[in-house]
Structure 1
């Protein structure tokens, strides 16, 4: 699996959202946050989806890290994160489908809010 923005895969009634930046411990950039919001909007509109699984690709890591939160390198580029990042867990918590976090590693920073925003 290549690195990049969070990937949305829908198979039947199950949608899987995968964080895909293992070389940076799945930290999230401003673009990733926008992608997640777009995926959340699409999932709310797709009534065929009943369950959303949030997971992370940890294959390129010595020690599995689900997510290290916001990528602090973005602070050099007038980041949206301080005010914008909080919209992500709120939107995840408000999703119409049931949400499940397949936590497969440690979690840090704002990413803990993502994990806690899931139903299970």
Structure 2
């Protein structure tokens, strides 16, 4: 399981129910694939810096998930095919950012690294 962050920009002209249903469909796809959905942060309607598909604003939502890469590939495909979605981006978060710790560095490895740098 890997941590991901998904940014979804939906058409701002949609009804609130359609926006909620689209985000729910995305989160259900993750949970059905064995992943977990963390925080769903709904930013609301925001103005674009430039027009995208002849639209000047969109509804932004950020979803934090933990899932397998295959599940996220399915989510990426689903969002790409959805007519309601203007843009989306799936980003794998580094382990440090996601609150995970990397394996501890052994003292032998740390000494070898400092010698390699000329210290």
Q: Please report the TM-score for the alignment, with normalisation by the length of structure 1.
A: 0.29
Q: Please report the TM-score for the alignment, with normalisation by the length of structure 2.
A: 0.29
Larger radius of gyration: 2
More strand by share: 2
Greater relative CO, 1 or 2 (CA 8 Å, sep 6+): 2
